[in-house]
Structure 1
Amino acid sequence: MKDILVTGAGGYIGSVLVPKLLRKGYKVKALDRYFFGTDKLPNHENLQVIQEDTRRMKPEYFAGIDAVIDLVAVSNDPSGELFKKATNEINYISRVNTACLAKWLGVKQYILPSSCSLYGFQDSETIVDETSPTYPITVYAKANEKAEQHILPLADERFTVTILRQATVFGYSPRMRFDLAINGMTYGAWKNGVIPLMRDGSQWRPFVHVEDTTDVMCMLLEADPVLINGQILNVGSNSNNYQLGKLAQEIANTLPKEVQIEWYGDPDYRSYRVSFDKIEKLLGWKAKWSGAEGAKEIFDKLASGELTKSEQTITLDWYKELVKWQRIIKSVEMYGGILDL
């Protein structure tokens, strides 16, 4: 049995990964601020929940740990642009610090889930792979790139480091997000019969289901270190490289109701197609989920009432709400309380 430290464990990906690790027999330390609550994780004898900020990591968190999966991040572009300082501190500096602590304290393996957004803008004919130049545009992407650049050189024969450049993630999670492209399209289709789509729909984007990317993380824990050490792997599938307009139409054709596409905003210039040949050849892994299948999964959960939209399902809205209430509480709190002192 391996002991795994997962940072960002209560987030969109973490709340899928942690139960999967527990089912596989791992012991898990699940570390997070838990902005979205601790109720997204199951009660389990092999789960230790640690409420902590990764900017304040302590050596004792690494005691007995065999591998770290460093999911923590301010996790989308709008949040990154509003909280620039925190994004740089969390997505870059804290993850470098975690990797260095892990190596110093004898942890054997470190996995950095990064992002294909590092590839930024590419022309429509280019398909990028792990050796291609990166052109990060946003604060989020730039912080991921800096984390990669400082963490990958830590790899050696005693410390296995693997970087996963994930495609845009979609699919159902206990900590649901409707601010992700396919998830947001599906909610609009279910709620109003309308898929909202940023102009002009010609931009390319790769996608990966949350179950697929967490499967890869589990696979890396069992992989031969010689195969994966010092490697950067794009995580997704060639068939899930979509032009967003065509993706929206495919989703509309799949869902069991009449759906229209509604355009909004200025053209989105982030456009990139990604090759996923390396991960398929190196690990023999292939993604199981298509974009349309993920949309149908979410649609069915919305239709059944199992899934609902709330302020917590839009990451930036929830961060803003927490900041608002922090100001309100600080302005009236005295002696450690409000009414009860």
Structure 2
Amino acid sequence: MAANEVVLVTGAGGYIGSVLVPKLLGKGYKVKAIDRFFFGSGKLFPHVGLEIIREDTRYLKPDHFKDVDYVVDLVAISNDPSGALFEDATWQINHASRVKTAELAKEAGAKRYILPSSCSIYGFQNEVVDETSPTNPLTVYAKANEKAEHDVLKLACKNYIVTVMRQATIFGYSPRMRFDLAINGMTYGAYNNKKLPLMRDGSQYRPMLHVQDTTDIMCLLLSASPNQVNGEVFNAGSEENTYNLGVLGQKIAKTVSKYLGEEVPIEWYGDPDNRSYRASFDKIEKTLGWRAKWSAEEGCQEILEKLGSGELEKTTETITLDWYQEMVKWHKIIKNTEMYGGILDI
């Protein structure tokens, strides 16, 4: 029974975590939500089953894992630009801290550990790749994910179920919104500028996965038969949500055009993106009986409605790298200005 089981979620206040935590609580789990809360703790609402712990995962201790049954290790420096700028932190958090979390959870008697990784570890591929295909990580973010996968899977045993999810590119609305993800960014640009921004040259392929769908998978993995998921890697996404980005751009532009009542053209930018891959999702569909519920157009429409109602807006906080850089800037300013424990009030 989920009512007496505890799920520890790292990165709980992030884009995926702020969707997953309420879903787990709704299913009767108790949740230990661990995060630095770079983007604020207000994304998680008080609940009798929720314990919020403000901590950096690089400094977790055995006590954090007391009475924990399951771990969903979402914490990450979460995109390629941030990984490139904060390379050391990306290796520390995306690799070392997640391996340490998996080890501490196992030592404390947790039953399961789930690592949400990324399909980006496939890099550039000419063929459709499955979970047994060679990987080709092109960025620090992808390389750190791959190393974390390798090291946590070694911990799997009869009494400790370890599962890796290689997620497609996530999209859709979240309380901790991100507009630096492909579909989300396209939607906002088309809505706000009446032009859809699309990175050249549009021929690259990318699988997409709605944030509600990926959190559904995480919930399924908590209760799936150990024989099906222990020591396994699953590509998380769907064939129907695998898009040539030029075609995807046209779909989003059409959806926004219909919403606005005016034509929205595509505006190309940047150098050609060499990350292109198509993945097979047969394993997750056959093993777990999971199917994607959300399409790109539905995710786009969801965001448009939030923007139109004023519930959602684009701020520095919704662009991950911009927000990290802003915090670093103000940290330096405050350190250089603070005296006697304050700025003006001391």
* TM-score scaled by length of structure 1: 0.98
1:45 equivalent in structure 2: 48
Partner of 1:261 in structure 2? Answer: 266
Please give the root-mean-square deviation of Cα atoms over the aligned residues, in Å: 0.7
Q: Measure the CA separation in 1 of the matches of 2:25 and 2:101.
A: 22
* SS of structure 2 residue aligned to 1:172: coil
Deviation at 1:261, TM superposition (A): 0.3
What is the match of residue 32 of structure 2? 29
1:205 counterpart SS class: strand
Off by >2 Å, runs of 4+ in structure 1: none
Deviations 1:269-310 (A, max 9, x none): 110001100000000000001111101110111111111111
- Matched with 2:95 is 92
Task: Work out the number of aligned pairs and report it.
Answer: 339
Q: Distance in 2 between matches of 1:185 and 1:332?
A: 40
**Structure 2, unpaired ranges of 5+:** none
Secondary structure of the residue aligned to 2:170 is strand
Q: Distance in 1 between matches of 2:317 and 2:52?
A: 20
Instruction: Give the Cα separation in 1 of the matches to 2:339 and 2:210.
Output: 47
Letter in 1 for 2:254: N
Q: For 2:117, which of 110, 114, 121 is the aligned residue?
A: 114
Q: Secondary structure at the match of 1:140?
A: helix
Aligned twin of 1:172: 173
SS at match of 1:154: coil
Query: How many Å separate the matches in 2 of 1:193 and 1:296?
Result: 15
Gaps of 5+ in 1: none
Name the residue aligned to 1:317.
322
Aligned match of 2:246 = 245
CA offset at residue 178 of structure 1?
0.1
CA–CA separation in structure 2 for the residues paired with 1:76 and 1:191 = 23
Give the Å deviation of 1:251. Answer: 1.2
Q: Residue 228 of structure 1 corresponds to which residue in structure 2?
A: 229
Matched, 1:218 2:219: yes
1:206 lines up with 2:211 in the alignment: no
Whole-angstrom CA distance in 2 between matches of 1:272 and 1:36: 31
Letter of the 1:8 counterpart? G
Counterpart secondary structure, 1:29: strand
Say if 2:311 is the partner of 1:306. Answer: yes
CA distance in 1 between partners of 2:194 and 2:29 (Å): 42
Superposed displacement of residue 331, structure 1: 0.2
Cα-to-partner distance string for 1:201-230 (whole Å, 9 max, x where unaligned): 000000000000000001111111111100
1:189 aligns to 2:194 (yes or no): no
CA distance in 1, matches of 2:316, 2:101: 30
2:145 paired residue number? 144
CA distance in 2, matches of 1:338, 1:264: 42
Offset of 1:105 from its aligned partner? 1.2
- In the TM superposition, residue 337 of structure 1 has moved relative to its aligned partner by 1.5
Q: How far off is 1:192 after superposition?
A: 1.1
Q: 1:114 Cα deviation (Å)?
A: 0.2
Q: TM-score, normalised by structure 2?
A: 0.97
**Cα deviation 1:87-138 (Å, max 9, x = unaligned):** 0000000000000111111111000000000000012xx1000000000000
Looking at structure 1, the residues matched to 237 and 279 of structure 2 have their Cα atoms a distance apart, in angstroms, of 9
Deviation of 1:340 (Å): 2.2
Write the deviation string for residues 31-82 of structure 1: whole angstroms up to 9, x where unpaired.
0000000000011011000000000001111010000000000000000000
Structure 1 residue 183 displacement after superposition? 0.0
The AA in structure 2 aligned to 1:207 is M
Deviation for aligned residue 1:335: 2.1
- The CA distance in 1 between the partners of 2:343 and 2:274, in whole Å, is 48
1:254 shift after superposition: 2.0
- Give the counterpart letter for 2:309 in structure 1: S
Q: 2:8 matched to which residue of 1?
A: 5
1:122 partner amino acid: Q
**Which has the higher mean CA deviation after the structures are superposed, 68-77 or 220-229?**
220-229
Residue 333, structure 1, aligned to residue 333, structure 2: no
Partner of 1:290: 295
1:63 partnered with 2:66? yes
Q: Residue 169 of structure 1 aligns to a residue in which SS?
A: strand
Give me the whole-angstrom Cα distance separating, in 2, the residues matched to 1:111 and 1:104: 16
CA positional deviation for 1:170: 0.1
Q: Letter of the 2:97 partner, please give it.
A: S
Structure 1 residues 129-138 or 328-337, which shifts more?
328-337
Which has the larger displacement, 70-79 or 222-231? 222-231
Question: C-alpha distance in 2, partners of 1:6/1:71?
Answer: 7
